[in-house]
A and B are shown apart, each in its own frame.
Chain A
Amino acid sequence: MSSHVRSVSRRRIAAAMFLVTALGILAGCGTGNTSSTADAASRACDVAAPAEPQTVNILAFSAPSIDPFTDAIVKGCSAADNLTLNHTPVDFTGQIQKAQLALGSEGNSPYDVVEVYNSTLVEYASKGWVAPLDDYISKYEDKYQLGDVSEEAWAGVTYDGKIYAVPNQVNTQILIYRKDLFEAEGLSAPTTYEELVAAASKLGGKVDYPLSMAWGSDDALLDGFHGWLAAGGGKWFNDDNTPAFDSPEGRKGLEQMKGLLPFMPKDTLSFGNGDVMGLMQQGKVGMAIIWASRAAPINDPNASKVAGKVGFAPAPRGMSGIPAGENSVDGFAIAKNSAVDPETLFQIVASTTLNKDVQRDASEVVLPARMSVQNDTSAAQPHWGASFENIAGGAQALPAVPFMDPLTKSVVNPFLAKAVTGALPVDAALRQASAALNKTLLDQGHLK
């Protein structure tokens, strides 16, 4: 009898739990949207409404530096007549996978607008998957004040002399360091590799890890190598697209990375940018070379224990005087096989993502593409100075070849990982990486 009573009450608890969750569903669906950028975004859309109802699908991964612009498009233009906007929530690898499938298949693309950065843009443009926008840019130059967009931003979305995307931001890898620790040790922000190593040595014992980098061997390790390769004056490819990184500069750069690893957490080779940012936020790291878009969260008291204690400087320079950081530009491109009129799509993207209010609202997490916002002192952020110096100092984007990310990345990374951890000597690793990449490029017809 008693066991019967017990089982009934248990069942009742389970049922109640289920009900609460079910009610939660209703509550969740009933309430409206509370995003901070909603206001600016909802006024932004300035598009000639299409005659027929159109649905526009946007493919963009979710990240602090991308969300404000995706939101601006979706929320801004959903109010326009005859337009429905959908955004697919995905992560970055999901975006790449879906973009390749959508743009590379026959028939109308399920996605009309696709988020791109330098390397993906070049790949899609070279394959003819995205539409050139030069005509629309000149037609709408005045209406959307496109002359205000910075040269670096346009350069990042140009391939073979044509513009293939509407850029919304410039990003660059800067040095973010713990001002308080540096001051206590009498250090100043390192400007060269040697100073970086010296500072890291001095921070040893003062903080859990003197240094941290996003060197995940499944992704960003190649970006790390790119920084040190460029800083040493090396390059990835020859003019005929054959690999050129198995060079004295490449070996030097990789040796330098190997020299930095002892100052970093053990699991560095599994780190993405988020991990490095998280370590910074928890005050476990003395300094990091990381994307400037991560600066604001590191300085946010709601998320960070070191808010107000961090300084920003350009990435340390190598032999060639170039900072060991990478530049990138993000923007939205228009699928060539979209069923929607490309001119409408261009208007949607340009009027929202380049809207001054949207750009100003996003300035905390990005360096906006608009010069007028970059020069607006009321929008200025503490990390912008370092970013400007980095860019002016010649920090380089990944080479504009159509096989950089993810192809080169996924072929070369395993060898870089082996070299940095000492599983392979540096020269052997680079030789093998170069040979493997050469073979893959030949196989896939990128080399003659």
Chain B
Amino acid sequence: MKRREFTLLAAPSVVLMTVLMIAPLVTTVVLSLNQFSYGTSLKWVGLKNYAQLLASPELHSSLLFTVLFVIGTTTLKLFLGFALALLLNFAVRARSVFLGALLVPLVVPPVVGALIYGWMFREDIGVGFYQYLLTLMGINIEWFSSTPGAIALLVGQNVWQDISFAALIFLAGLQVVPAEPLEAALVDGANWLQRQRYIIMPSLSGLFAFVSMMSVMDSFRIFDSIAVTTGGGPNGTTESLMFLAYKVSFQQSQLGLGSAMSMLTVIGIVLLLVPFLVLTKRQFRNAR
């Protein structure tokens, strides 16, 4: 493709990204170097906001939670998503019925999904149907008043809503697993597990990377679902980076500090994306 053609085709997108993504980001960087609140003028403080944040125990605890959350949701989405895809691939009959049911949580806005998911696990108020069933079975987990419980609740909610995306991607991949090595393996008498481990999974490794990338991106900036379920509790142990940024900006009116918090999160995301960026780069080179 000629450069002129490329410029012509890519220009609208690049202009849009520059005007509505890069410009706002640069603005936020500038804001993050100032101290200001609603209706007050900017006061340049340099890197003071960043220094203050890096020294704050709240940032450390929210970073810890966010990382735990990212690891938990991504691992589960990969494992369960792949398992679901295998089952769906296997269940040719009625596949679209199952797929339809699995897709329902995916299409509902996270604010609403998280709210009703949270209800299911309420203990005292008569809305926690799952909690009621668990209690009948003699299982009693403190979803809101213990930290492990609250983290498990949030991870469960995220996996519940997003798992079908992973399953859908894996299912699509499974449909086009190359036939020859599989047939060879069948002839050699490889059992089911061996086939998954040595043939199916390696040929889907690109998809595993794609699904983990999407999950890492979405989980790292988690906000909505925390706001409507645990509210960051108990004792602030489920405050994600973005929840903290929201609190600092909109509740404590420290907009400069909040902007710095957002920028730190952006840096965190970019760091987490490095493997995927490298992967993209390598793939781009190979395709040349």
Contact = CB atoms under 8 A, between A and B. Distances in A.
Direct A–B contact present (CB less than 8 angstroms): yes
Interface of A: 7, 10, 93, 96-97, 100-101, 103-105, 127, 129, 208-209, 216-219, 265-267, 269-270, 275, 278-279, 282, 284, 406-407, 409-411, 414, 417-418, 421, 423, 440, 443-444
Contacts of B230: 270
Contacts of B251: 96, 406-407, 409-410
A409 B145 CA distance: 20
Contacts of A278: 125-126
7 contacts: A101-B38, A219-B231, A266-B144, A267-B142, A267-B144, A269-B233, A414-B235
Contacts of B145: 266-267, 269-270
Interface of B: 35, 37-40, 96, 122-126, 142, 144-145, 230-236, 247, 250-254
Contacts of A443: 35, 254
Given A103-B38, A265-B123, A270 B250 contact: no
Nearest to A284: B124
Given A270-B145, A407-B251, A218 B233 contact: yes
Contacts of A267: 122-124, 142, 144-145
A209 B124 contact: yes
B235 A217 contact: yes
A96 B120 CA distance: 29
A421 B252 contact: no
A278 B125 CA distance: 7
A127 B96 CA distance: 58
A96 B40 CA distance: 17
Nearest to B118: A270
Given A10-B96, A269-B235, A406-B252, 7 more contacts: A266-B142, A267-B145, A269-B233, A269-B234, A270-B145, A282-B126, A444-B253
B235 A421 contact: yes
Nearest to B43: A445
Nearest to B97: A10
Contacts of B235: 217, 269, 414, 417-418, 421, 423
Contacts of A219: 231
Contacts of A100: 38, 250, 253
Contacts of B124: 208-209, 265-267, 279, 284
B253 A407 contact: yes
Main secondary structure of the interface of A (DSSP, over half): helix
* 5 closest Cβ pairs, A-B complex: A104-B38, A104-B39, A218-B231, A406-B251, A410-B251
Given A267-B144, A421-B234, A410 B38 contact: no
Contact of B252 (A105, A216, A407): A407
A417 B234 contact: yes
A97 B227 CA distance: 14
Given A410-B251, A410-B252, A279 B125 contact: yes
Contacts of B40: 104
A414 B40 CA distance: 27
A409 B231 CA distance: 14
A209 B230 CA distance: 21
Nearest to B248: A410
A261 to B, nearest CB: 11
Contacts of A407: 251-253
Given A217-B231, A275-B125, A279-B125, A270 B38 contact: no
Contacts of B232: 217-218
A270 B128 CA distance: 15
B31 to A, nearest CB: 14
Contacts of A105: 38-39
Nearest to B92: A3
A444 B38 contact: no
A282 B125 contact: yes
Given A104-B39, A279-B125, A270 B254 contact: no
A216 B231 contact: yes
Nearest to B94: A6
Max count, chain A CB within 10 A of own CB: residue among B144, B230, B252 = B252
Contacts of A93: 250
Contacts of A101: 38
Contact of B250 (A97, A269, A411): A97
B236 A414 contact: yes
A208 B125 CA distance: 11
Contacts of B250: 93, 96-97, 100, 406
Nearest to B39: A104
A7 B94 CA distance: 10
Nearest to A94: B250
A96 B38 CA distance: 12
A442 to B, nearest CB: 12
A217 B233 contact: yes
A444 B234 contact: no
B39 A440 contact: no
Contacts of A266: 123-124, 142, 144-145
A279 B124 CA distance: 7
Given A284-B124, A410-B251, A444 B37 contact: yes
Contacts of B126: 278, 282, 284
Nearest to A337: B39
Nearest to A409: B251
Contacts of B35: 443
Contacts of A418: 235
A105 B40 CA distance: 9
Contacts of A411: 252
A101 B38 CA distance: 7
